[in-house]
Each structure stands twice: as C-alpha cells, then as structure tokens.
A and B are shown apart, each in its own frame.
Chain A
Amino acid sequence: MEEQIIDRLREIIMPYAKDQNALNCLSRNSDFINDLKINSANLVDIILDVEEAFNIEIDNEAMEQMLSVGAAVDIINRKLASQ
C-alpha cells in the first residue's frame, strides 16, 4: 500500500522535481525542497495534484507538514482512513 502511494507520488512529483537522481531514488526520506529541488511555489501544485489523485482534502494543518515524501504518505493515509 505504502509503495503504491509512493509510486503515485513519483508520478505527481515528476514534472516539478529538478533532481532526477533524487526522483529515481524516491523514498520516505526524500525532502521535496532539499532533495528533489522542487520550487516552493510548486509545492502548492503538488498538494493540489495529491488532493485530486487521492480525492482527499489537505487542510492548512496537514499542508504545514508536507515537506517530505514520508510526511505526504502519512497525511494521505490519515485522510483516506478518515473517509
């Protein structure tokens, strides 16, 4: 399940990631800004893409934590579980 979410995230992140190697080696520890070199303005696009792909709503509190793949996976799991 977790791997499926990470695979889905990889597709979402692909157009915004500037570091190809970090994208290939995507894991829970991957940091969107420091590792994947994603522009902070594009983090909003990733959040909107995640909302659409998983049909969930990411509120402000959850968005604050959305700095890494691991945090994103936890948020997605939590939101899916509460549906």
Chain B
Amino acid sequence: MIGNDIVDLAYSRQQSNWQRKGWIDKIFTTDEQLQIRASTQPERLVWLMWSMKESAYKIYNRMTRERSYSPKKFVCRVVTISDTAATGYVLCLERCFSTKSVLTTGFLHTVASSTADFDVINISIKKRAKDCRFLRRSFSLLKDQTGIPYLLDPMTGNKLTVSLSHHGSYEAIIFVRE
C-alpha cells in the first residue's frame, strides 16, 4: 500500500505557525522534538516529519479503516537527508512503513510504502492551475464506500491504488504501475 503527502512551504508559512507554544508538543514525540531543536533547519525538519507522519497515516487508515488524529503515534526516523531528498521510515504500533521524500524550495513531498518498492510508484506533482486534471483524462478517479480513492483504467477495467495530496498551490498524485 501507498500514501503520500505534499507540503507547500510558502502556504504553510501563511497557514501554520509551527513555533506557536504547544504546537510541536502536540505533534512530535520527545525524541523528534530533540531532533528539531538540534537541527540547523528546524522548519524543514518539522515539515519533513509531518509529511512522513501524514503519508504513513494514509496507509494505516487504508489498512485499518480507522480514523484518528494521533500524530505522536507515528514515530519518524529520518535515515538519510540532503538538500534535495530524504529517506526514512515511520513506526506505527506494530507496523513500519518506508518513506522517500523530495525537498525543494517550494514544496516537500513524501511517499510512504508498505513494501518499500518505490520503483513501481508513479509520482506526478503539479502546481495547481485551472487545469489540474492532468491524470484524469485517461483514468477515472473514483472513491470506494469508505472514501478511499482508486484509479479506474477504462481500457482494462483494472483498479489502481492511488494516493492524493494537495496543499496550497500543489497537487500530488501517486499510483502503483501495473
């Protein structure tokens, strides 16, 4: 299974004040908070770990069909990080999901996978414009009874696992290639 999350960094600065008293305490574990405090780029680490938690939550939600708002239960480990990319994993109860992130000055995007097979995942990221339906021309984007989206290939009738994320002016769609 897959999940993804995109953060528009300019938009996050308008919409969220991560330095607000109590904000970090509600979202990050003690260990994550120590890493943020020790970082030379705390804002980047905040949103990197936030997107890791969100993308892992999307898988967890699909697996269990349970909704909750419990970001501290999704424990992030950043394994590698450079100016443009990061890898890591997220632990949630007995489960573990691998993550792969792309970092730019405009956005930060994380893909989480329950198999760590990132090569089969197709990623499209677009600045949202009037025409943001770039993928839906050939595939139909549908949702099942529980609100979980999938792509329907009109040629074969196959259902493809898809994960959507939008934030500010960015939209990301990832799906598993057949």
List residues of chain A with CB within 8 A of the CB of B72.
60
The verdict on A2 contacting chain B, using a C-beta distance below 8 Å, is: no
Contact, CB under 8 Å: A67 / B54: no
B23 engages A48 (CB within 8 Å): yes
| Chain A contacts for B147, CB-based, 8 A | 34
CB-nearest residue of chain B relative to A62? B69
Q: Is the CB of A39 within 8 A of B69?
A: no
Determine whether B50 belongs to the interface, using a CB cutoff of 8 Å to chain A. yes
Docked-complex contact B20 and A48, CB < 8 angstroms: yes
Contact B22 A51 (CB under 8 A): yes
Name the contact of A40 in the complex, choosing from B21, B22, B54 (C-beta under 8 A): B54
Q: Least Cβ distance of A51 to chain B in Å?
A: 7
Q: Are A42 and B15 in contact (CB under 8 A)?
A: yes
> In the complex the two chains form, what is the Cα distance from A19 to B7 in whole Å?
20
Decide: A48 near B16, CB < 8 A? Known: A60-B72, A63-B70, A64-B70: no
B67 touches A67 (CB 8 A): yes
Question: CB of B104 within 8 A of chain A?
Answer: no
Q: Does A29 contact B (CB under 8 A)?
A: no
**Whose C-beta in chain B lies nearest to the C-beta of A60?**
B72
Smallest CB–CB gap between A7 and chain B, Å?
23
Within 8 Å of chain A (Cβ to Cβ): is B151? no
Tell me the residues in window 119-178 of chain B with beta carbons closer than 8 Å to chain A beta carbons: 147, 167
Task: Quote the shortest CB–CB distance from B140 to chain A (angstroms).
Answer: 21
Q: Tell me if A65 and B68 are in contact (CB < 8 A).
A: yes
Does B26 interact with chain A (Cβ within 8 Å)?
Answer: yes
B12 an interface residue at 8 Å Cβ cutoff?
yes
Q: Is the CB of B68 within 8 A of A64?
A: yes
Residues in chain A within 8 A of chain B (CB atoms): 34, 39-45, 47-48, 51, 60, 63-67
B interface residue numbers (CB < 8 A to A)? 12, 15-17, 20-23, 26-27, 50, 54, 67-72, 147, 167
Extra inter-chain contacts (6) besides given A39-B167, A64-B70, CB under 8 Å: A39-B16, A43-B69, A44-B27, A45-B20, A48-B20, A64-B69
Closest 3 pairs (CB-CB, A-B)? A64-B68, A64-B70, A44-B26
